Amino acid sequence: MALAHGRMDTPSSHRMLGHLGPIGGRERIALLDVVRGFTLYGVLLANTVPWFSGHGLLPKAEAAARIGTGDEIAFFFLTVFVSRKSQTLLTCLFGLGFAIQLARAEGRAGRLYLRRLAILLVIGVCHAAFVWWGDVLAGYALCGGALILFHRRSDRALLAWATVLVFVPKFVTSVPAVSAFLDRVTAAAFDRAAFDAELLLACRGDDYALLVKTQAARALYYFLSHAPEYIPWMIGHFLVGFLVGRRRALETTTSHLARWRQVLAWSAGLGLAGGTLSAAKGIYLRRGGALSTAWKMALIVPEEVGILAMALAYVSGLVLLMHNSSWRPRIIRLAPAGQMALTTYLLQSVIMTFVFYGWGLGLLLRVGPAWCIPLTLAVFGAQIAFAAAWLRRFYFGPVEWVWRYLTYGKAPRMRRSAPDLAAAPQR
């Protein structure tokens, strides 16, 4: 889709499937970039409140003592509307993007796809060790290869596998005997409280070598301890995105607006119900409550359905707003951040670790959960402005350019020429 002309469905979006090579600016889908941009703000907010700010590394009693009324309201809002919704949507978007990549050509496409994943793995490992331990890219790269196994599966098979992978491991790992066994064979057997305290100390200090060592250990610990349910969950949502991408649901929205309105209505209702249930559970646990195994298992389905439904409600809402002449010029401003999503995501970690960690401003544990909301709005607003300014001069974000260069073995054209600058999208 040519963003400069503001069209939703054009032949260029279909022609891009006919050749191998980087996707150019005129071949992009505006809606998809908007959804990515919207999701990246949710990721920033969801990561900042517990992790960048340091509150998620405190013992439960100390964390509870720091929470005021405003923070409780912020937690409720975040649980209902943000927590795990942005992670779910980001994971589905990766699956959707890889579906487009796999669909672009046969034969060599598999090797090219695996090369892209290998490079993404290197980027993710470097991000986790040298910038922030909560990286998702390495996990995506490690698990993304599973999509090749499902490349030729029917839509019904993809949906069935996605359902199994998302729900079954959660039920199995909720069984106490299984959970105890997994604790013995994974990194979960480590003393998490001591591990959190060690990481908190490293983040507050100015010893960068210690920070790198501690973050690398934390990233590995976190991945291994959650792997039994996180890896299947991730692949399951990859398959959801893969199915959406294969059916080109976001490329042909114009002729299905009535259906998108219906989807928004029921998905928003389910999302609010599931989110409110999760928020009530969070309040109960923060006040010292404990859930039995039966309750944990009973909440799995409504919570997961609510999370996916709210993510779908966001996509549906963005689809409809993109077709509204009054709202489209406003939300299209999210597109530059989504177009250079990898750069935006990594830059968020650089900015927020600078704000909170000892090597920067050192605001760790000094900004409460409620104040994280305006802080992240300011940061993401600056990121949107930066992305828009960058893409007026260049075709790709800096990290995207490197990723493409290493993948395809040749340097994509980076700087726009004078005629391209005149025709560049003014979002």
Helix or strand or coil: residue 417? coil
What is the model's pLDDT at position 101?
A: 74
Cα angle 143, 33, 388 (rounded to 5 degrees) comes to 125
- Chain centroid to CA 348: 12
d(CA 2, CA 420): 13
d(CA 87, CA 46): 8
Pick from 63-72, 187-196, 218-227, 408-417: least confident: 187-196
Contact 415, 393 (CB under 8 A): yes
What is the model's pLDDT at position 78?
A: 93
- 3-class secondary structure per residue, 58-107: CCHHHHHHCCCHHHHHHHHHHHHHCCCHHHHHHHHHHHHHHHHHHHCCCC
d(CA 200, CA 192): 12
Compute the radius of gyration of the chain from its Cα atoms: 21
Cα angle 231, 237, 243 (rounded to 5 degrees) comes to 135
Q: Computed from CA positions of residues 257, 263, 265, 271, in that sequence, does the dihedral angle turn out positive or negative?
A: negative
Question: What does the block give as tokens for 21?
Answer: 């090579």
Whole-angstrom CA distances from 360 to 46, 120, 131, 244 are: 21, 27, 12, 41
Mean pLDDT rounded to a whole number for the chain: 86
d(CA 102, CA 147): 9
pTM for this structure?
0.88
What is the model's pLDDT at position 44?
A: 97
**What is the per-residue pLDDT across 386-409, written as a single tens digit (0 to 9) for each?**
999 999 999 999 999 999 999 888
How many C-beta neighbours within 10 Å does residue 60 have?
11
pLDDT over 70 (residue 155): yes
What is the model's pLDDT at position 190?
A: 65
* Domain residue ranges of the chain, discontinuous segments joined by +: 3-423
d(CA 37, CA 40): 5
Contact 318, 265 (CB under 8 A): no
Report the amino acid identity of residue 365.
L
**What is the per-residue pLDDT across 193-242, written as a single tens digit (0 to 9) for each?**
888 899 999 999 989 999 999 999 889 888 888 899 999 999 999 999 99
Residue (of 32, 13, 43, 247) closest to 140 by Cα position: 43
d(CA 422, CA 51): 42
What is the model's pLDDT at position 68?
A: 87
For the segment 135-159, the average pLDDT, to the nearest whole number, is 91
Question: What does the block give as tokens for 126?
Answer: 């470097």
pLDDT over 90 (residue 135): yes
What is the model's pLDDT at position 300?
A: 94
pLDDT over 50 (residue 2): no
Q: Computed from CA positions of residues 103, 399, 374, 356, in that sequence, does the dihedral angle turn out positive or negative?
A: positive
What is the model's pLDDT at position 13?
A: 34
Pick from 145-149, 162-166, 189-193: least confident: 189-193
Pick from 68-72, 232-236, 325-329: least confident: 68-72
